[in-house]
Structure 1
């Protein structure tokens, strides 16, 4: 070989060695960054959260409510949660957004600060929330105009459509990995097998307590004049809202039960109706026993005053003893929810039964 060939060969070898060295250095830097993230001395507001007992729920068949199937009613909007999570605040604030007992939480450690606009929308058929660690070292729900040094991305394990599937988890991981790769970073995940088992157990528990109670007041002769229905509803403290349904709410504005036309027509578009239905979405209501008492009292008063019959969905007459039996079942359901650390009407319940 000529001297020129030897020089060219040497330069090529040096270039290959430089590229290999740079890649090795990048890999070492990312691993060091990820390790440092896991070794932070400040409290981890998500992963250090005490676990409730919901993970030990037993699987079972989906409970068909005695009076009305819960799946026929759309869930209320999710309760608002704090947008900012300061590490000095209560752990409960972070759990309101992402809870390892309810979510499959991935961590993304980018190579550099990432702008909000660069975070992709992750769509897998289940609720996804993204928290970012700002340059002020505060966890928050990501928002426009902000940049973040780390991310926690949570996929909800269970809702009223059932548990997350393996295919959905795989899709979620693929999309999160693609985001991490695009930002020159790394992503870490819990074991999928463990979380799939948790999801099945959690869904089994939800099936045991998922119930929507409906009490129907049916005219035995002529349809009820809507003016009389409205007068009784308003006297009981219910408010007709934009959906054409009367809503009973707590002093703090939380939903208790509804009064609607039995055939799902907006009440404000009717002059009369042959029947109305009062509905209580059991797991989504705090203090459900008292809400049921109030609902049952109104249903009985309407049946008496309007000259109608109080019946279940199969048009079987409901007597005071039947209402007492339903209330007893309610007490048992709410006790189960409390024992699992998912009280009725709480943040976790509103997420799971949506």
Structure 2
């Protein structure tokens, strides 16, 4: 025997229970003043009826859904998911909902454009960790008046606010730490040239080496897609080089994990035979022996700043002014994976 689901309660149901006018009930749910006894009657009836206001419909009537789209290149990377958590944490306090999507599904490209999907859901703005393939769709959103804030990656020509780590500082501090410990034959594992954030980290790393009068061999700069397997392969190439680096900087968390596994498999001792400064990978840093030295980006602060900028754009949608560009400093968390060499 099937039971018919009970339909959702409406204003008319509350009117039937309380005897109040629809105008009074509407005023209450739109935040206007009503008599105390009427407020108590409405709240009691709503609890009995399990009435839940349709916030989406109310927002549409006001011309706003009070929702933000978050666009990610992948739903399988810890950094991206941490960004979502930080954005949602900030915006929930502002009464703004979050809709998360990606142009990738199970590691393969989706056949539905994620930006178009978000716009079809009438989001008030988009916070994006963009891929190059998102550039055109995001530009169209901006042209249509949709506020856009990019995180971790600045797309050329996109008229949008931006929040990221100070990537040049990250690479420079990491490289200088290796140099200060006496290392002169250095290597780095970084992303492809199109990866804006990792390219900045490489620039900072090379600035540190150049400033110290060091020249890096071309085969000591290994470029790889951002995956554990590719980080592993890149580190193995460095370890098998004719002149092996004594110290390496890995510019991304997945690359760091792969590099550590490669060192373990090679039989070399981390912090003795080979030194390493990793990136993020905080959980890994706690379980390696010795503990891994890593550069840490302030993910929660980056996410909150992106959400704060977006909230400001929604509060003043007609506000003029230059686009905001925020580059936030990170910090080096010292472990024991960098050997001090005495020449």
TM-score interval for Structure 1 and Structure 2 normalised by the shorter chain: under 0.3
Higher strand share: 1
* TM-score (norm. length: structure 2): 0.26
Structure with bigger gyration radius: 1
Question: RCO higher in 1 or 2 (8 Å CA, sep ≥ 6)?
Answer: 1
